[in-house]
Amino acid sequence: MAERDAAYSRLPHSASAGREDVTRDLLLNGRVTLLQPARGHRAGTDAVLLAAATSASPGERVIDVGAGTGAVGLMIAARTKGLDLILLEKDPDLAALCRENLRLNGLDGLVANADLLDPASRAEAGLVPEAADVVVTNPPFFEAGRVRSSPERRRASAHVLPSGGIREWLRAAASLLKPGGRLVLIHRADGLPECLAALARGFGGLRLRFVHPRANEPAGRLLLVAVKGSRAPMRVEPPFVLHAAEGFTPEADAVHRGSAGLK
């Protein structure tokens, strides 16, 4: 979304971990410090919204799937202390930044350098099936062959799924959840049919909220929470609007500052 860079404050370049290819940014009004690549896919409003939509309790295992540099998991952990946090990321360089970000923020957690879509890779990284209470994910939004991929490797990987698309991604994410566990995701608003089809078997109690750039504009994103094994009906929450005439709406501003969550 266009709001990506509004999600965080940039520290001076001299504070960027001593590397020109990495910036050191602040999320949630300075509560989270994030090292991330200066180019390619970068955390922003999508990550902030996903973290704000995630409810977790101390002691619960939370897995951030496709974690990138760990922004979503770090923000969840900043709001709820005592989590059993796992950051799952297949890119070894990004996984290394995840480890640095955990250290910078004084958080305990495990970084699993693994491919979500490869069961053998998950097992080698020590990820046990049906052991997570919460899985959060900001999956790549497109499927290979349907869009032109970016020539930048990490940006392409962050935006484009291999054949099988969102169904395979969510099926793999669901395999990590224990019965009664919650899957929380953010996706393109027009991807709703594919998301619902992927969750039609094995999930219920869906809570859906659309995110609109402005009140008079179509939704650009959806936030979805689903409960593994539930048979409860789906509930559609009121829309979430990011921008007013000038700047963020009060609700969006509070979420970006970390002073409010999202139901």
pLDDT one-digit tens code per residue, 162-178: 555 899 999 999 999 99
Summarised one tens digit per residue, pLDDT across range 46-68 is 999 999 999 999 999 999 999 99
Share of the chain above pLDDT 90, in %: 79
The pLDDT, as a whole number, for residue 2 is 40
pLDDT at 147 over 50: no
Residue 31 located in a structural domain: no
Residue 193 located in a structural domain: yes
Task: State the CATH number of the domain containing residue 227.
Answer: 3.40.50.150
Q: What does DSSP say about strands 22-27 and 8-10: parallel, antiparallel, or unpaired? A: antiparallel
CA dihedral of residues 119, 122, 126, 128 (deg, nearest 10) = -60
Residue 96 located in a structural domain: yes
Burial of 149 (0-12, 13-18, 19+ CB in 10 A): middle
The pLDDT, as a whole number, for residue 18 is 54
Residue 14 located in a structural domain: no
| Mean pLDDT (whole number) for 18-41 | 90
The pLDDT, as a whole number, for residue 165 is 82
| Mean pLDDT taken over the chain | 88
Confidence of residue 233 (pLDDT cuts 50, 70, 90): very high
Residue 23 located in a structural domain: no
Residue 35 located in a structural domain: no
The pLDDT, as a whole number, for residue 263 is 72
Summarised one tens digit per residue, pLDDT across range 85-126 is 999 999 999 999 999 999 999 999 999 999 999 999 999 999
Confidence of residue 11 (pLDDT cuts 50, 70, 90): very low
The pLDDT, as a whole number, for residue 44 is 92
Residue 29 located in a structural domain: no
Range of the domain at 84: 43-257
Whether 135 contacts 65, CB under 8 Å? yes
Residue 3 located in a structural domain: no
| Locus of tokens 């169904």 | 167
| Mean pLDDT (whole number) for 202-227 | 98
When divided into structural domains, the chain yields a total of 1
Euclidean distance between CA atoms 224 and 54, whole angstroms: 10
